[in-house]
């Protein structure tokens, strides 16, 4: 119910933002392109039975590429990898490749995408493909260089894994603050991302996961107004 409310809130706010978006003849925008190396301080909690919670932490390293056209539509690619330290299935090598389309404008976008997620499962390193559909709301305050956004998405495997019929479903929420430095092509980024995730087999839950990432990045951008 809570998740439903959160999603409804984001979508309603986004539609309002989208409707409120208007063109202004006093300034022109350029296409936005940014490339930001990112460090993600990651906490992962997993539970494979109903009693034990195992935790792992670590820093994932990667990069994020964002392109937006004049209307605000575009794509985002995010790659991060690293090893999480801890005990049990939560620990181990973790790879996360996230591709998103941004369909909409600066204020509101519907965000379909695809995630490749690689982590230890059942004693082996396993790669899993997941589709996602979500929404993003945001606003760039060009006078101060502050870009704020919030997004939410539903994540799911498109079809069951062929070898063992495992499927995955989850939900993700993310907030982000970006700061564009005056007169310089640099952008600072701070984001908080929470992903809750279930691995299922024949409707039975094999594993629950809660992945939290606090990401910091300093990147280059082109096209954002630099005051």
Partner 1 sequence: MRRFFLMAMLITSGQLRAQGANDRVIARDLLDRTRAAYNDLRFVRADSLAREVLALGARISRDTRIEALQLLSAANFPEPENQRRVAAARSAMVQLLKADLDSGIPRDLAWPGLDSLFRDVANSTFAMTVVVRRENAIIGIAGAAPVRVRTNRPSSVVLEVRSQEGIESAVVDSVATATDTVLQLRPLRGVQPLLKGGEFELIVRVTDLASRETITRTFDGVAFVPEFTHEPTPVFDAGSLLPIRGKPQRIATAVVGVIVGAGTVAIGRLLRAGEPIGAAGDTDRRFVAVGATIAVGSIVAGLFDRGRDLNRNRATNDRVRREFEARLRVVEEENIRRSTQYRASITINTEAR
Binding site for partner 1 (CB under 8 A): 2-3, 6, 25-28, 41, 43, 45-47, 50-53, 55, 139, 141-146, 148-150, 171, 173-177, 179, 190, 192, 194, 196-198, 205, 208-210, 212, 214, 225-227
d(CA 4, CA 1): 5
DSSP 16-83: HHHHH----TT-----EEEEEEEEEEEEEEEESSSS--EEEEEEEEEEEEEEE-TTS-EEEEEEEEEE
Cβ at position 158, least distance to partner 1 in Å: 22
Pairing of strands 54-68, 108-121: unpaired
Q: Are the beta carbons of 212 and 43 closer than 8 angstroms?
A: yes
**∠ CA 171-4-190 to the nearest 5 degrees?**
50
Cβ at position 19, least distance to partner 1 in Å: 17
- Nearer to partner 1 (CB atom), residue 163 or residue 196: 196
- Nearer to partner 1 (CB atom), residue 6 or residue 159: 6
Q: Are the beta carbons of 116 and 128 closer than 8 angstroms?
A: yes
Residues 6+ apart with CB under 8 A from 167: 156, 157, 159, 160, 161, 199, 200, 201
Cβ at position 131, least distance to partner 1 in Å: 19
- Nearer to partner 1 (CB atom), residue 159 or residue 185: 185
- Nearer to partner 1 (CB atom), residue 12 or residue 144: 144
Cβ at position 59, least distance to partner 1 in Å: 13
Cβ at position 120, least distance to partner 1 in Å: 17
- Nearer to partner 1 (CB atom), residue 43 or residue 156: 43
- Nearer to partner 1 (CB atom), residue 139 or residue 160: 139
Cβ at position 10, least distance to partner 1 in Å: 9
């Amino acid at each position: 119910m809570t998740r439903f409310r959160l999603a409804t809130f984001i979508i309603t706010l986004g539609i309002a933002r989208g409707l409120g978006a208007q063109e202004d003849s006093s300034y022109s925008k350029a296409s936005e392109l940014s490339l930001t190396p990112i460090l993600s301080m990651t906490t992962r909690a997993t539970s494979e039975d109903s009693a034990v919670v195992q935790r792992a932490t670590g820093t994932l390293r990667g990069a994020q590429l964002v392109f937006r056209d004049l209307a605000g539509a575009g794509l985002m690619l995010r790659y991060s990898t690293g090893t999480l330290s801890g005990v049990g299935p939560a620990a181990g090598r973790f790879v996360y490749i996230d591709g998103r389309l941004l369909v909409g404008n600066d204020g509101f976008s519907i965000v379909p995408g695809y995630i490749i997620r690689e982590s230890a499962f059942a004693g082996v390193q396993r790669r899993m493909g997941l589709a996602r559909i979500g929404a993003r709301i945001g606003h760039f305050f060009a006078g101060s260089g502050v870009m704020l956004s919030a997004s939410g998405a539903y994540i799911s495997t498109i079809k069951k894994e062929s070898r063992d019929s495992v499927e995955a479903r989850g939900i993700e929420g993310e907030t982000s603050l970006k700061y564009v430095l005056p007169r310089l092509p640099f952008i600072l980024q701070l984001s908080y991302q929470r992903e809750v995730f279930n691995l299922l087999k024949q409707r039975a839950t094999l594993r629950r996961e809660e992945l939290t990432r606090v990401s910091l990045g300093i990147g280059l951008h082109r096209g954002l107004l630099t005051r």
